[in-house]
Amino acid sequence: MGTPGLPSPLYPVGDERFERHGVRLLLKRDDLIHPSVPGNKWRKLVPNLAEAAGRTVLTFGGAYSNHLRATAAAGRLLGLPTVGVVRGDELAGLPLNPSLARCAADGMRLCFVSRAAYRRRNDPAALSGLLEEAGAGPGDGVLDPFVVPEGGSNEAAVRGCAELGGELREAAAGVDVAAVACGTGGTLAGLAAGLGPRQRALGVPVLRGGFLGRDTEALQRSTFGGRRGDWWLDDRFHHGGYARVPPELEAFAADFEDRHGLPVERLYVAKMLHALVTLVGEGAFARGSAVAAVVTGRPEPS
């Protein structure tokens, strides 16, 4: 499936907002791992598709889900059939948006279900009914699918992301803090577990709600048997919630692109970078320390 760029590049960038406080900023370019399955999605999906071992991979997402798109691309690359259960049956009769069109072009079978049915997807008893209703049951030729949860965060994914921590642990640049944007917390759960004993991980939730500490801990518990690594969350940088990009965040991201020539993905990466610039200004990082910003994805081509 093409050679992924692992370990992903890690390099320092000169940014006066950090230098002023004696802090080094490094970029961990996970967005460069693979052209069609970038970033943390590669780290999370590849162990899952290996475990699927040829079975149809079935997963879930909203109409703009990065996870669905990455699953479709990874399935095509590895030669596994994929089924995407999409939230919202009102979408069924409409033209596909660009994200879903990409999924379909990669061979993913898309099944639209009502929001009520979608909410029951994690109940094993309800799931088979949901799949029948969606046209993705045994009667439709989908036998014994390998089910990956919405957002792709399960034990295999967390283990895959521990390798991200391992790369930063080994890095010659000497990373003290690694920062990552969080949706489900799977990437943070693995990253923190893979870091070395004197390193810390910062998670920046992009959704509102304050559930991420619990979810990340639950993922670490089911994967490793308990909490692992030294990690914390800062809940101040969601900018109103998922997919909200208010003008001040847009301006921040455009300015960061100008300064560093880095394409800044807005829904996750911009919020994490904004958190780091704010935190360094607040004196949150010790003088002489190095902060690695994990670039988990790249902007959609428009």
Ligand X SMILES: *Cc1c(COP(=O)(O)O)cnc(C)c1O
Minimum CB separation of residue 287 from ligand X in Å reads 29
Cβ closest to ligand X, residue 130 vs residue 182 = 182
Binding to ligand X, residues 135-154 (CB under 6 A): 151, 153
Active-site residue among 8, 36, 65, 153? 65
Cβ closest to ligand X, residue 61 vs residue 145 = 61
First to last CA, the chain: 25
Cβ closest to ligand X, residue 81 vs residue 297 = 297
Concatenating the DSSP letter of every residue in the chain gives: ------SPPEEEE--HHHHTTT-EEEEE-GGGS-SSS-HHHHHHHHHHHHHHTTSPEEEEE-TT-HHHHHHHHHHHHHT--EEEEEE-GGGTTSPPPHHHHHHHHTTPEEEEE-HHHHHTTTSHHHHHHHHHHHT-SGGGT--S-EE--GGG-SHHHHHHHHHHHHHHHH-TT--SEEEEEESSSHHHHHHHHHS-TT-EEEEEESSSSS-HHHHHHHHHHHHHSS--SEEEE-TT-STTSTT---HHHHHHHHHHHHHH-----TTTHHHHHHHHHHHHHTT-S-TT-EEEEE----PPP-
Minimum CB separation of residue 284 from ligand X in Å reads 21
> How many residues sit close enough to ligand X to count as binding (CB under 6 A)?
19
- Of the candidates 108, 178, 181, 253, which one interacts with ligand X according to CB under 6 A? 181
- Of the candidates 106, 142, 265, 273, which one interacts with ligand X according to CB under 6 A? 265
The pattern of x and - marking residues 58 through 97 that bind ligand X according to CB under 6 A reads: --------xx------------------------------
Minimum CB separation of residue 79 from ligand X in Å reads 23
Counting contacts by CB under 6 A, is residue 165 touching ligand X? no
Minimum CB separation of residue 272 from ligand X in Å reads 8
The pattern of x and - marking residues 183 through 222 that bind ligand X according to CB under 6 A reads: xxxxx-----------------------------------
Counting contacts by CB under 6 A, is residue 268 touching ligand X? yes
Counting contacts by CB under 6 A, is residue 8 touching ligand X? no
In the complex, residue closest to ligand X by CB: 297
Q: Respond yes or no: is residue 65 known to be catalytic.
A: yes
Distances (CA, A) of 251 to 15, 85, 144, 256, 299: 17, 35, 47, 9, 15
Q: Which residues are catalytic?
A: 65
Name the site residues for ligand X (rule: CB under 6 A).
39-41, 66-67, 151, 153, 181-187, 265, 268-269, 296-297
